[in-house]
Amino acid sequence: MTVRVRIGPSPTGEPHVGTAYIALFNLAFARQQGGQFVLRLEDTDQERSRAEWERQILEGLGWLGLTWDEGPDVGGPYGPYRQSERLDIYRAHVDQLLATGHAYRCFATKEELETLRAEQKAAGRSLGYDRRSRDLSETTIQAELAAGKPYVVRMKAPLEGKVLVEDRLRGPVEFDAAQVDDQILLKSDGYPTYHLANVVDDHLMEISHVIRAEEWISSTPKHVLLYQAFGWKPPIFIHMPLLRNADKSKISKRKNPVSLLDYRQRGFHPRAVVNFLAQLGFTMPDQRELFDFDEFVLALDWDRVILGGPTFDLDKFSWLNGKWFRERMSSEELTDFLRDELFSRDRIAALVPMMKERIDVGEQFIPGTDYFFRGEVELPIELLRPKRHGLAELAKVLETALEAFEHHTPFEAGSLEALGRQVAEEAGWKAGELFMPLRVALTGRKASPPLFNVMVVLGRALMRRRLRSAIDLAKATAKQEQRAAAKAKKKG
């Protein structure tokens, strides 16, 4: 069998470490088996997909050296590799399922479905679609179509029997077909859902092994039913263990940086990142912890993957990175790495326009810009404290601001500032009342070059890290002060 594997990232946010983790196992398996690795962009969520995220995902994976043989940028014989450019293909496949009775149209309006949900809730019944349109008469369907009513297409899942999912790491897993809902396949905007597009593409792109995160395992019965409905042979499924925070919850940005940008900005070396990801849920036959991609390709064996949910341990990650600096890189290589990542010409060039007005001699440049080069800044709470508002309130407003900035594209000063003003206004604050603590959080100072220019040059990752620290500090201090005040009141 020719091994063909793929990743299907959705361009709805910054490149995620989980995506890199899955990409790594796919690529290593493809290399080991002499197969191909495909990158397919699953951009069927029109509202959340952005060109900037797409670019960053490709760039982030490229930074790690996880390169693909076929993809939207390099092309290939199975393209297009962007799902939004394959709408005709999905439409044709949906028509096929409608014709063979494996799918049906549902014309229910949003209001009707909301009423259904409310009724179900009131009756304490399980929530879900009630299959109301499963057996509409042909006359009704034609009348609704003629009236131009919008509709979705749903899968006609069997009402009894079992669905067998074969997972290479878990063996066969049986599901009750009745538990599989009549999944939407085609949305009313003409876009496919993940399930339909994913199955159709994996088949047409001749994917032999689907290596993906464990969180998709519950979708697999739907996929297997779709393969059956089309009369296709499903690929081999390999669901990799879920990465976890130290407290065993699913990895999340509240507890761990999850964007590749964060690690790059912190000065992790791409080869150490690959090494760290490769030992999550996988051990080398000789237990060695320091190894590179080529060694991993030779050793990769699905029988050595442990399903326990490996912990994403930042201390271990830093330790391993240090080992790479010391044991696997010459001083020459480390010099180049530091120059390129920290002191690149682009980086300095971005700072110069801001600093030109502020320095007379070169030696003032470093002290004037040090906060661009460090991870955390010192954050005196008295600088952060707003005059007219409490710290708890500040924490809340900063959280809202962070959430807004983080998801805003493009990351550009003018529109970030407008967003900042909007957040302030919605909170009932004057813009300046928010901008001062923002500046302090980002720079550790009360005076700096224009705030939003600073934010752009810091970049998303540092912006996020510093605002998080400020929010945590404001919250903790507010709590302390509240407790102290309560104590004083009791005494007094």
User: What residues between 27 and 66 interact with ligand GLU by CB under 6 A?
Assistant: 42
CB 225 to ligand GLU: min, Å: 15
Q: Where are the beta strands (DSSP E) in 64-170?
A: 103-106, 152-155, 162-167
Segment near ligand GLU (CB under 6 A); pick from 5-13, 302-310, 432-440, 481-489: 5-13
Among 4, 9, 234, 433, binds ligand GLU (CB under 6 A): 9
Among 4, 5, 8, 455, binds ligand GLU (CB under 6 A): 8
> By CB neighbour count within 10 A (0-12 exposed, 13-18 middle, 19+ buried), where does 467 fall?
buried
From the candidates 187, 250, 253, 396, which is the catalytic residue?
A: 253
64 near 20, Cβ under 8 Å? yes
* 355, two tokens: 């600093």
Among 26, 36, 198, 321, binds ligand GLU (CB under 6 A): 198
Closest CA to 96 of 221, 235, 207, 203: 203
Segment near ligand GLU (CB under 6 A); pick from 2-10, 251-259, 305-313, 349-357: 2-10
234 binds ligand GLU (CB under 6 A): no
Q: Which of 194, 317 has the CB closer to ligand GLU?
A: 194
Per 3-state DSSP, the chain is made up of helix, strand and coil in percentages (nearest 5) of: 55, 10, 35
User: What residues between 178 and 197 interact with ligand GLU by CB under 6 A?
Assistant: 194
Q: Which of 85, 376 has the CB closer to ligand GLU?
A: 85
Residue entry with tokens 């302030």: 424
DSSP secondary structure letters along 182-200: --EEE-TTSPBPHHHHHHH
**Cβ contacts of 314 within 8 Å, gap of 6 or more:** 256, 257
Q: Which of 9, 241 has the CB closer to ligand GLU?
A: 9
43 near 84, Cβ under 8 Å? yes
Q: Where are the beta strands (DSSP E) in 156-229?
A: 162-167, 171-176, 184-186, 209-213
Question: Do strands 152-155 and 4-7 pair parallel, antiparallel, or not at all (unpaired)?
Answer: unpaired
Q: Which of 243, 436 has the CB closer to ligand GLU?
A: 243
Q: Which of 173, 329 has the CB closer to ligand GLU?
A: 173
Closest CA to 459 of 339, 351, 312, 338: 351
CB 22 to ligand GLU: min, Å: 7
Segment near ligand GLU (CB under 6 A); pick from 4-12, 51-59, 105-113, 251-259: 4-12
User: What residues between 377 and 416 interact with ligand GLU by CB under 6 A?
Assistant: none
CB 15 to ligand GLU: min, Å: 11
CB 110 to ligand GLU: min, Å: 25
User: What residues between 213 and 232 interact with ligand GLU by CB under 6 A?
Assistant: 216
Any catalytic annotation for residue 479? no
CB 57 to ligand GLU: min, Å: 10
For residues 52-82, one letter each, b for 16 or more C-beta atoms within 10 angstroms of the residue's C-beta and e for the rest, the string is: ebbebbbebbebbebebebbbeeebebbebb
Q: Which of 20, 320 has the CB closer to ligand GLU?
A: 20
Among 102, 105, 212, 464, binds ligand GLU (CB under 6 A): 212
Q: For residue 175, give the 3-state DSSP assignment.
A: strand
CB 12 to ligand GLU: min, Å: 8
What is the Cα–Cα distance from 246 to 2, expressed in whole angstroms? 39
CB 166 to ligand GLU: min, Å: 16
423 near 400, Cβ under 8 Å? yes
92 near 204, Cβ under 8 Å? no
Among 3, 10, 459, 462, binds ligand GLU (CB under 6 A): 10
Q: Which of 42, 182 has the CB closer to ligand GLU?
A: 42
Which residues participate in catalysis according to the annotation?
A: 253
Please give the residue ranges that form the binding site for ligand GLU (CB under 6 A).
Answer: 8-10, 42, 194, 198, 212, 216
